[in-house]
Amino acid sequence: MAYRPSRSRAPGGAAPTGPATLRRANLSLVLRELRDHTSLSRAEIAQATGLHRATVSNLMAELLERRLVREVGVEHVGAIGRPRRAVALHGAHVGALGMEINVDYIAVHGTDLSGRSLVERRVVHDAMGSGPDNAVRRLGLVAKEAVEAMGRAGAVPSGIVVAVPGLVDVTRGVVTLAPNLHWRDLPLAEQLSSMLGPRSVPVRVDNDANLAALAEYTSGVAAGTPHLVYLTGEVGVGGGIISGGELLRGADGFSGEVGHLRVDPNGDQCGCGRIGCWETKVGLAALVRAAMPEQAYGLPGMPVPDPGERVADIARGLASGDRRMMTAVAQVGEWLGLGGSILANLFNPRVIVIGGYFASLAQWLLPHAQDQLRRLVVAAPAAQCRFVASTLGFGAASRGAASMVVNHIIDDPTILDSLPRPAP
Ligand SMILES: [Zn+2]
């Protein structure tokens, strides 16, 4: 499904000028059509893009030479068996590396241009306790291993996007504030680039919930739903908002900080320093504290377990009817519905996709959350907003990060010309 960043449009709606600019724009137009369909004939591309048949043939010759598309042979269409020569997105040699750093793990997802998964991994890492220097070093090592693994699969990454749970200055690649990682004004793109050395491909940084929302919109359970809110269910809670098929970023790119909506003025202190933020009610730390306080986050001397293991422990307890866990999950579910209703009243989404641990415990959380949503959304009888559990698991943000790299190439495939060549 298409994700169309508004910056790819010519400013003021003017047509791109100059032969090189025009060619770049047309290459991008064709690649986008191919990304959104399994395969297309040249005639279908001409029809969809409004380009002349001869122009499409020329563009296709260039894309074939660049190995970004491939012929998929002659297909027979309809009862009379009319032949149709189709092409599909290819680019098996063009890699896209998505990464995510969170409170207790680093995730990587490497794909080729067509979205074929090449590397998928999650490593336990205590980013909260290790400090930014160690975290960047670890990110660099994990990135290097992923680049090598992608190389063995025949793909050279053309870019890296790192998802971070916090406010990100996307233009400069600086993490302005990541409360749960204790990071402030960290020039992550620059530091990771220098760790990867002079041959490093461009490194960008973005907000984890925005990237996960993009992953949901392009390949998740509600793919193609143009009005969609995504919620990360980790220790922190963030939101990514797709409105009218576009990612809503706000004036400074800081929209979606839904975890810090104040929902309880008499509540607990949040990682951001404020009192009663939504994530102090529904974040994984809040659930663990209520469901199994002996394993709460931040207890001295406690090793950081994989978040998946903690959630699996809770799921086992719930399945066996553990009273304390049932009460904890009901409470979290109600708060989830309350916060969800604020978002539904604001953005009128068709679905609220819940990710991370919310998805793993959806069968216990959702009845409570959906009840609250029905009660608290003003337009509830007509608006049909519902919670849906993500199927992308903890990897949603890294998958979205890889999609973002692919989008950059599709926006301008000529950037591949200026990338560093792989080491001989
Ligand atoms: Zn907060």
DSSP string, 161-212: EEEESSEEETTTTEEEEEGGGTEEEE-HHHHHHHHH-TTPPPEEEEEHHHHH
Range of weakest confidence among 1-5, 42-46, 123-127, 270-274: 1-5
Q: How far is the CA of 367 from the centre of ligand 1 (A)?
A: 26
Q: How far is the CA of 66 from the centre of ligand 1 (A)?
A: 48
Q: How far is the CA of 105 from the centre of ligand 1 (A)?
A: 21
CB-based contacts of 178: which residues, under 8 Å, 6+ apart? 164, 165, 166, 167, 184, 186
> Which of 15-24, 196-205, 319-328, 374-383: highest mean pLDDT?
319-328
Whether the CB-CB separation of 275 and 308 falls below 8 Å is answered with no
Whether the CB-CB separation of 369 and 340 falls below 8 Å is answered with yes
What would the mean pLDDT of 347-374 be, rounded to a whole number?
Answer: 95
Q: How far is the CA of 234 from the centre of ligand 1 (A)?
A: 14
Q: How far is the CA of 387 from the centre of ligand 1 (A)?
A: 23
Q: How far is the CA of 271 from the centre of ligand 1 (A)?
A: 6
Confidence at residue 6, expressed as pLDDT on a 0 to 100 scale: 39
Q: How far is the CA of 274 from the centre of ligand 1 (A)?
A: 5
Q: How far is the CA of 267 from the centre of ligand 1 (A)?
A: 11
Q: How far is the CA of 273 from the centre of ligand 1 (A)?
A: 6
Q: How far is the CA of 25 from the centre of ligand 1 (A)?
A: 42
Q: How far is the CA of 260 from the centre of ligand 1 (A)?
A: 4
Adjacent-strand bridge partners of 70: 88
pLDDT category, 14, cuts 50, 70, 90?
A: very low
Interatomic CA distance for residues 86 and 70, integer angstroms: 9
Q: How far is the CA of 286 from the centre of ligand 1 (A)?
A: 13
Query: Which tokens in the block code for residue 229?
Result: 């809110």
Cα 208 from chain centroid? 6
Q: How far is the CA of 397 from the centre of ligand 1 (A)?
A: 21
Q: How far is the CA of 269 from the centre of ligand 1 (A)?
A: 8
Q: How far is the CA of 331 from the centre of ligand 1 (A)?
A: 19
Interatomic CA distance for residues 71 and 322, integer angstroms: 57
Q: How far is the CA of 5 from the centre of ligand 1 (A)?
A: 29
Confidence at residue 229, expressed as pLDDT on a 0 to 100 scale: 97
Interatomic CA distance for residues 329 and 200, integer angstroms: 44
Q: How far is the CA of 75 from the centre of ligand 1 (A)?
A: 56
Angle between the N-to-C axes of helices 323-347 and 307-319, in degrees from 0 to 180, rounded to the nearest 10: 110
pLDDT over 90, % of the chain: 67
For residue 7, the 8-state DSSP code is G
CB-based contacts of 50: which residues, under 8 Å, 6+ apart? none
Confidence at residue 13, expressed as pLDDT on a 0 to 100 scale: 39
Whether the CB-CB separation of 120 and 142 falls below 8 Å is answered with no
CB-based contacts of 43: which residues, under 8 Å, 6+ apart? 53
End-to-end CA separation in angstroms for the chain: 37
pLDDT category, 251, cuts 50, 70, 90?
A: confident
Q: Residue 199 pLDDT more than 80?
A: no
Q: How far is the CA of 265 from the centre of ligand 1 (A)?
A: 12
Query: Which tokens in the block code for residue 317?
Result: 């307890």
Q: How far is the CA of 278 from the centre of ligand 1 (A)?
A: 7
Q: How far is the CA of 241 from the centre of ligand 1 (A)?
A: 19
Query: Which tokens in the block code for residue 329?
Result: 């999950």
3-state helix, strand, coil in the chain (%, to 5): 45, 20, 30
Query: Which tokens in the block code for residue 39?
Result: 């395969």
What would the mean pLDDT of 249-267 be, rounded to a whole number?
Answer: 91
Confidence at residue 80, expressed as pLDDT on a 0 to 100 scale: 60
Q: Which of 366, 410, 402 lies closest to 111 in space, CA to CA? A: 402
What would the mean pLDDT of 8-21 be, rounded to a whole number?
Answer: 56
Q: How far is the CA of 13 from the centre of ligand 1 (A)?
A: 39
Q: How far is the CA of 266 from the centre of ligand 1 (A)?
A: 13
Q: Please give the mean pLDDT across all residues of the chain.
A: 88
Confidence at residue 296, expressed as pLDDT on a 0 to 100 scale: 80
Q: Residue 272 pLDDT more than 50?
A: yes
Question: Which SS3 state, helix, strand or coil, does residue 97 take?
Answer: strand
Q: Which residue has the tokens 């992923």?
A: 146
Interatomic CA distance for residues 124 and 416, integer angstroms: 33
CA angle 11, 14, 16 (to 5 degrees): 90
Whether the CB-CB separation of 394 and 310 falls below 8 Å is answered with no
What would the mean pLDDT of 66-70 be, rounded to a whole number?
Answer: 92
Q: Residue 9 pLDDT more than 80?
A: no
Q: How far is the CA of 138 from the centre of ligand 1 (A)?
A: 27
Query: Which tokens in the block code for residue 205?
Result: 């940084």
The H or E element that residue 382 is part of is helix 380-383
Query: Which tokens in the block code for residue 158?
Result: 């053309």
pLDDT category, 419, cuts 50, 70, 90?
A: confident
Confidence at residue 381, expressed as pLDDT on a 0 to 100 scale: 67
> Which of 1-15, 262-276, 290-304: highest mean pLDDT?
262-276
Q: How far is the CA of 336 from the centre of ligand 1 (A)?
A: 15
pLDDT tens by residue, 152-179: 999 999 999 999 999 999 999 999 999 8
CA angle 62, 68, 70 (to 5 degrees): 90
Which carries the bigger pLDDT value, residue 219 or residue 367? 367
Q: Residue 267 pLDDT more than 70?
A: yes
Q: How far is the CA of 97 from the centre of ligand 1 (A)?
A: 30
Q: How far is the CA of 257 from the centre of ligand 1 (A)?
A: 9
Confidence at residue 130, expressed as pLDDT on a 0 to 100 scale: 86
Q: How far is the CA of 211 from the centre of ligand 1 (A)?
A: 20
CB-based contacts of 303: which residues, under 8 Å, 6+ apart? none
Q: How far is the CA of 282 from the centre of ligand 1 (A)?
A: 12
CB-based contacts of 301: which residues, under 8 Å, 6+ apart? none
pLDDT category, 383, cuts 50, 70, 90?
A: low
Interatomic CA distance for residues 30 and 343, integer angstroms: 36
Q: How far is the CA of 330 from the centre of ligand 1 (A)?
A: 22
pLDDT tens by residue, 116-149: 999 999 998 888 788 999 999 999 999 999 999 9
Confidence at residue 382, expressed as pLDDT on a 0 to 100 scale: 62
Question: Which SS3 state, helix, strand or coil, does residue 89 take?
Answer: strand
Q: How far is the CA of 237 from the centre of ligand 1 (A)?
A: 9
Q: Residue 1 pLDDT more than 60?
A: no
